[in-house]
Amino acid sequence: MATTSRIQVFDTTLRDGEQAPGFSMTAAEKLRLAQQLDRLGVDIIEAGFPISSEGDFEAVRTIANAVRRPVIAGLARAIPADIDRAWAALAEAARPRIHVFLATSDIHLEHKLRITRGQCLAQVAAAVAHAKAYCPDVEFSAEDATRTELDFLCAIAEAAVIAGATTINLPDTVGYALPTDIEKMFRIVAQRIGDRAVLSAHCHNDLGLAVANSLAAVQAGARQVECTINGIGERAGNASLEEIVMALEVRADALPHRTSIHTQALVPTSNTLSSIVGIAVPPNKAIVGANAFAHEAGIHQDGMLKHELTYEIMRPESVGAPGTRLVLGKHSGMRGLDARCRALGYRLRQPELERLYVKVTALADRTKSVEDEQLAAIIRDELAAQMAVGAAASAGSGRH
């Protein structure tokens, strides 16, 4: 039996997530979300990129002073001015972390940074040592790690560890990798650095593989995952925190790892972010979408009414969702309709239910779904019509 290990959840909603167009937040909004992330139970909150703006600096400093349980991280490029500024923002944190990054792929070295591999190695070592002089907890990220030649990536990780890094992050910065690529990369780097540092995964979703790649990294030795609420982030976004956490919860048989996340706070946290930025998640979004626990098809509704496990692999209450919804639409069946009627307080006989079903499906063809108010009105009309028919029949019999 596999040994259960603990996975640290590094939330970067306030840094990488906020960099997505339309998701910018004020310092007060960042603090509000940071407090919710604290309630959610994340281990590390990356509060921002202090040198990027005065507002970001103030947000990181405010969060560092106000949120005391989790580690508070600030991002810095591998240059002294960035690291100095990050520490100035983090200095009052109960548990500060300086997160230093530098690109390592030949594509970035040649075309963006215009430095050699040797210069890159020297800069990594110097930057990590500079951060370490301020703070015992230093993370180093090899930007574009998945497109970095593996021997050189191992040399970079080794140099960072020797200089004092306690976490080595291997990001799939452009969402290029497949799970098999991620697994190979993490296993090779893990063999090189051993237990001298925690390995971390930071996966982007350009090919829709961010969560799958994060789980592959965990299986290959990563013990920290970097993710965001609702999967927000640059371009197509980051790995979704709620999806990673619930994959580990639901598939504990195959993924023997645990997190410190209070899963009942997942939907409330998703809603908090949506209310701050004014952008709702798509209805079909896993775990937190409006349709995640909604069923319209008659076969599915019939199964759900017999046993929830037929079509739901987790209880909606376990993630803070209000509960299962049986949606009345053109695909719904008689059992689903009967259940909705009973929930509204109406117990109809089979002939009444059959007549009602014809009317409900006809309405659903026009309106896509039938809400409780509409259903109640149709039921009242149907019952009133039946009473009128009964009254007319009684009056007719009385005249003879």
**Which DSSP letter does residue 278 get?**
T
Query: Is residue 24 located within the same domain as residue 91?
Result: yes
What does pTM read for this prediction? 0.87
Establish if 283 belongs to a structural domain: no
Residue 1 is predicted with a pLDDT of: 46
Query: Is residue 166 located within the same domain as residue 309?
Result: no
Contact 299, 333 (CB under 8 A): yes
Q: What tens digit of pLDDT does each residue of 208-266 get? A: 999 999 999 999 999 999 999 999 999 999 999 999 999 999 999 999 999 999 999 99
CATH of the domain at 102: 3.20.20.70
Establish if 397 belongs to a structural domain: no
Query: Is residue 107 located within the same domain as residue 197?
Result: yes
Query: Is residue 305 located within the same domain as residue 265?
Result: no
Query: Is residue 212 located within the same domain as residue 357?
Result: no
Q: What tens digit of pLDDT does each residue of 29-70 get? A: 999 999 999 999 999 999 999 999 999 999 999 999 999 999
Establish if 175 belongs to a structural domain: yes
Q: What is the 3-state secondary structure (H, E, C) of 1-52?
A: CCCCEECEEEECCCCCHHHCCCCCCCHHHHHHHHHHHHHHCCCEEEEECHHH
Extended strands (E) in the chain: 5-6, 8-11, 44-48, 71-77, 96-103, 138-143, 167-172, 198-203, 224-227, 257-258, 294-295, 325-326
Establish if 282 belongs to a structural domain: no
Query: Is residue 254 located within the same domain as residue 370?
Result: no
Q: Using DSSP, how many helices (H) and how many strands (E) does the chain show?
A: 14, 12
For residues 281-309, average pLDDT = 84
Query: Is residue 357 located within the same domain as residue 269?
Result: no
**Number of domains making up the chain:** 2
pLDDT at 328 over 80: no
Nearest to 89 by CA among 40, 27, 43, 152: 27
Query: Is residue 139 located within the same domain as residue 233?
Result: yes
Q: Among the three residues 277, 312, 328, which one is the final residue of a domain in this structure?
A: 277
Please identify which residue in the block is written with the tokens 């650095």: 193
For residues 77-88, average pLDDT = 98
Q: Among the three residues 249, 277, 305, which one is the final residue of a domain in this structure?
A: 277
- State the residue range of the domain holding 21: 5-277
Query: Is residue 238 located within the same domain as residue 314?
Result: no
Please identify which residue in the block is written with the tokens 């937040």: 25
Nearest to 127 by CA among 92, 88, 97, 99: 99
Establish if 394 belongs to a structural domain: no
- Give the C-alpha separation, 236 to 213, whole Å: 15
Contact 310, 303 (CB under 8 A): yes
Establish if 398 belongs to a structural domain: no
Tell me the three state secondary structure of residue 126: helix
